[in-house]
Chain A
Amino acid sequence: MTRLILKRLGMMVVMLLGLAIITFSIANIAPGDPARLAAGPDATPEMVEQIRETRGFDKPLPVRFALYVGQLVRGDLGTSVYTGRSVSDDIAQFLPATMELVFFAITIAIVFGIPLGTLAALWQNRFPDHGIRLIAVSGAALPMFWLGLMLQWYLALELGWFPLGGRLGVFDDVPPQITGMITIDALLNGDPRTALTALWYMVLPAAALSLPALAAIIRVNRAEMLEVLGRDYVINAKAQGIGPLRITAIYAQKNAILPSLAMIGLRFGWMLGGTVLVEGVFDFPGIGLYAAKAAVSSDFEPIMAVTLILGAAFMFTNLLIDLAYAVLDPRVRNQV
């Protein structure tokens, strides 16, 4: 197990370097002047020249790449023209909010997706199956940003069930910052009320964010369940007189859930990308909103930094998924 972790961590370092090459290439090989890009659209020619010198844009490409990696290692992600602050500070401020939202959204997707997929498989081609599959095909086709707007319009504006957006209301007490995730900070502060309020604020954005993932998990779990329920060991379990609930929920599910896990990892990454769309709709101050604002105002260094950070987060998630795989499947465990 330790060997597996070390091996995967080593691979991740290589992948991160690859990721840096990609962002570096986008910034430097793309037509246009990297110094101009970094300086932002409103910079004067003098400012551009100054940035060219301080950031080494006048040096040859390999040297610049070395400089870039050096900066990354030091945690220097550049400066945001828009906020006027260092990008690392901005990200440190906005990332926890996004993580909180995405964890909530993926939890929704798993908690509903796995049972719905299983139910659909058990009732294959009967009424509940059709209903669940409708959710699944729709979830994959609905534009997240539009769904967010529709939820906001109907459930928040028309019915007033949920807040319009943001992380907390104006009159709510913001807990002292420990992790930056309000629900957790509030709980640590002994204030479950605020934690619930924060959760309440996240329901609509998380719902919009989770629907595609929910759809994907339903599909994978349904397909896997159908396959697994026809496997020989299920027939053997039935032949032993083991009850259907135990066969489905434990014997079959532990096998079927493995491919769903891979899907969950993949979808987690896509959700990170989706925050760019959804956070803007709900004015949720996370890294996605930050990236979206940076992108429209051609604030280049924050976009590159967000790409790097979200890519790294995605890789890390996949590492965790691989480890979960190894824990759940003894065959994988023994291979390594």
Chain B
Amino acid sequence: MMDSTPILDIRDFSLVFDTFDGAYHAIDKVDLSLAAGEAVALVGETGCGKSVLTRAAFGLVPSPPARITSGSVRLDGRELLGLSDRELRGVRGKDVAMIFQDPMTYLNPVFRIGTQLTDAIRAQSGGKVKRAEARDIALGMLEKVHLPNPERQFKAYPHELSGGMRQRILIAMALAAKPKLLIADEPTTALDVTIQAQILDLMAELVEDMGLTMIMISHDLGVVAQVCSRVAVMYAGKIVEDAPIGQIFDAPAHPYTKGLLDALPHPFKRVERLASIPGTLPDLLNPPKGCRFAQRCASAHAACDAPVGLRRVAPQHTVACTLFEDTPMKDPVHEH
């Protein structure tokens, strides 16, 4: 795992939004790396920058107002920052596919499903695939995502389908070109609980079958546990902890991760009420110099006012918290 080039390698990535009131530091020096076949969850509360990070890396956040101030994004060894719009378009769809939170709004309401699918498939191939061929691929993909009656859904408009069906269509659309990397941005949040489970099953199945490398964005640790093997926890534009899923549940290091876990309903433990983390996100127009969580952290102390980088606490487990010492170990993936 360590000697092969990672599929995705984000280094030192920072992004600000230029607003009337000044620069809003949405993402600050983020490192994230995915090896082939890995399914990583990016977890954090709403507004922590997880969607912005994965979209901006592939040129999907309009600039202005967004501005990438530092870093590099390598996809399979190829640097993406600095590519032209046209080159990025060649990467999107074909190499990197995305599925999004709300299947209700991510399909164009005035075009038929079939039109949208074949258009996407043709665009992914850079126009090489003919319309009839794209139709066959699309129908094949619809079967693959277990959509009943693909032929009929092909002629339907989005509003005629249920949320679960639409999410299956979006998944089919995303995976048609067999991308190197799939980014699933809260793919189940907008769905009913039973449908959620079905879609998660489908995604786990596809990750397995197609050998997908995937980033799944979620604010719900319970959801990602079903599909992902590793978790990166993000808070206020920074990654604060990065560890295998088991370790996150068994031995969470960062106080924020612990807070997230306490907020999760547990099937075996009876609790009077779920814990919540007091306070709100810091003002990112004037972000604190030190740990961005310190304001809300029960264990905060003087050292938290100084900048804190990721520290290694176990092989494959790093955390950005002053409570831990950096222990040099053999795994060099997150070295600076």
- List, in ascending order, chain B residues with CB within 8 A of A254's CB: 108, 110-111
Q: Is A231 at the interface (CB under 8 A from chain B)?
A: yes
Q: Are A255 and B110 touching (Cβ within 8 A)? A: yes
Given known A-B contacts A244-B85, A331-B159, A236 and B170 have beta carbons under 8 A apart: yes
Cβ–Cβ contact A251 & B109, under 8 A? no
Chain A 237-281, CB-CB to B under 8 Å as 1, else 0, gives 111111110100001001100000000000000000000000000
CB pair B110 A240 closer than 8 Å: no
Which A residues touch B303, using CB under 8 A?
Answer: none
Structural contact, B123 and A241, CB atoms closer than 8 A:
yes
Does A334 sit within 8 A of B, measured CB to CB?
Answer: yes
Chain B nearest CB from A184 CB (Å) reads 33
Measured between C-beta atoms, what is the minimum distance from B131 to chain A in Å? 14
Q: Dominant SS at the A interface? A: helix
Q: Please tell me if B106 contacts chain A, counting CB pairs below 8 Å.
A: yes
Which of chain B's residues has its CB closest to A239's CB?
Answer: B98
Q: Mark A299-330, 1 if CB is under 8 A from B, else 0.
A: 00000000000000000000000000000111
What residues on A are CB-neighbors of B154 within 8 Å? none
In angstroms, how far is the closest chain B Cβ from the Cβ of A256? Answer: 10
**Is B173 an interface residue when CB atoms closer than 8 A count as contact?**
yes
CA A331 to CA B90, docked complex, whole Å: 33
Q: Is the CB of B93 within 8 A of A239?
A: yes
Q: In the complex the two chains form, what is the Cα distance from A243 to B119 in whole Å?
A: 10
Cα-based distance from A329 to B90 in the complex (angstroms): 31
Given A241-B94, A242-B119, A331:B60 Cβ within 8 A: no
Cα A232 to Cα B167 in complex, Å, equals 13
Given A235-B100, A331-B109, residue A241 in contact with residue B90 (CB < 8 A): yes
Residues of A within 8 A of B160 (CB): 334
Chain B residues whose CB sits within 8 angstroms of the CB of A231 once the complex forms = 105
Known: A244-B85, A251-B111. A239 touches B60 (CB 8 A): yes
Decide: A334 and B159 in contact? CB cutoff 8 A.
Answer: yes
Contact A242 B106 (CB under 8 A): no
Point out the residues of chain B lying under 8 angstroms from A235, CB to CB. 55, 60, 100, 106
Interchain CA distance A242-B119 in the complex, whole Å: 8
> Which of chain B's residues has its CB closest to A232's CB?
B105
Which residues of chain A have C-beta atoms less than 8 A from B111's C-beta? Answer: 251, 254
* Given A236-B100, A239-B93, A240-B120, A255:B108 Cβ within 8 A: yes
Contact A241 B106 (CB under 8 A): no
Interface centre among A236, A239, A243, A254 (most CB of B within 10 A): A239
Contact A243 B123 (CB under 8 A): yes
Contact, CB under 8 Å: A233 / B94: no
- B100 proximity list for chain A (CB < 8 A): 232, 235-236
A255: nearest chain-B partner, CB-CB: B110
Establish whether residues A238 and B60, one from each chain, have CB atoms under 8 Å apart when the complex forms: yes
Q: Is the CB–CB distance between A240 and B123 below 8 Å?
A: yes
Complex Cα–Cα for A233 and B103 (A): 9
Bound Cα distance A244, B86 (Å): 9
Q: Shortest distance in angstroms between A248's beta carbon and chain B's nearest beta carbon?
A: 13
B98–A233 CB distance below 8 A: no
- Are A330 and B110 interface neighbours, CB within 8 A? yes
Name the distance in Å between B119's Cβ and chain A's nearest Cβ. 6
- From B89, B107, B124, B157, give the contact of A236 (CB < 8 A): B107
Contact status B102-A237, CB under 8 Å: no
* Contact between chains at A241 and B157 (CB < 8 Å): no
One digit per residue, 1 when the CB lies within 8 angstroms of any chain A CB and 0 when it does not, for chain B 117-129 equals: 0011001101000
CB distance from A254 to the nearest CB of B (A): 5
By a CB distance below 8 angstroms, the chain B residues around A330 are 109-110, 157, 159
With both beta carbons as reference points, the residue of chain B lying nearest to A330 in the complex is identified as B157
Contacts of B320 in A (CB 8 A): none
For the complex formed, measure the closest distance between the CB of B251 and the CB atoms of chain A, giving whole angstroms.
Answer: 36
Complexed CA–CA distance, A187 and B170 (Å): 51
Q: Say whether, besides A236-B170, A239-B98, A242-B119, A331 and B157 are in contact (CB < 8 Å).
A: yes
Are B106 and A232 in contact, with the CB atoms below 8 A? yes
Contacting B at CB under 8 A, from A87-120, are none
User: For the complex, is B8 an interface residue (Cβ under 8 Å from A)?
Assistant: no
What residues of chain A lie closer than 8 Å to B157, measured between beta carbons?
A: 330-331, 334
Distance between B52 CB and nearest chain A CB, rounded to angstroms = 12
The reply on B178 being an interface residue by CB < 8 A is: no
Judge whether B334 is part of the interface by a CB distance below 8 angstroms. Answer: no
In the bound complex, do residue A328 and residue B110 qualify as a contact, i.e. CB atoms below 8 Å apart? yes
Interface string of A172-187 (1 = CB under 8 A from B): 0000000000000000
Q: How far is the CA of A251 from the CA of B107 in the complex (A)?
A: 10
Which of B92, B102, B108, B126 lies in contact with A251, CB distance below 8 A? Answer: B108
Q: Which of B94, B100, B170 has the most CB of A within 10 A?
A: B100
In the assembled complex, B97 has its CB within 8 A of some CB on chain A: yes
B25 to A: closest C-beta gap in Å: 22
The 8 Å CB contact of B108, one of A233, A241, A243, A244, is: A233
In the bound complex, CA of A328 to CA of B111 (Å) = 9
Contact flags B31-63 to A (C-beta < 8 A → 1, else 0): 000000000000000000000000100101000
**Contact status B106-A233, CB under 8 Å:** yes
Q: Which residue of A lies closest to B124 (CB)?
A: A241
- Given the known interface contacts A330-B157, A330-B159, the answer about A240 and B93 at a Cβ–Cβ threshold of 8 Å is yes
Q: Which 9 A-B pairs have the closest CB atoms?
A: A241-B93, A240-B120, A232-B105, A330-B157, A242-B123, A233-B108, A239-B98, A240-B93, A236-B106
Q: Can you give 9 A-B contacts (C-beta < 8 A)?
A: A239-B93, A239-B174, A240-B92, A240-B93, A240-B124, A241-B94, A242-B123, A255-B110, A328-B110
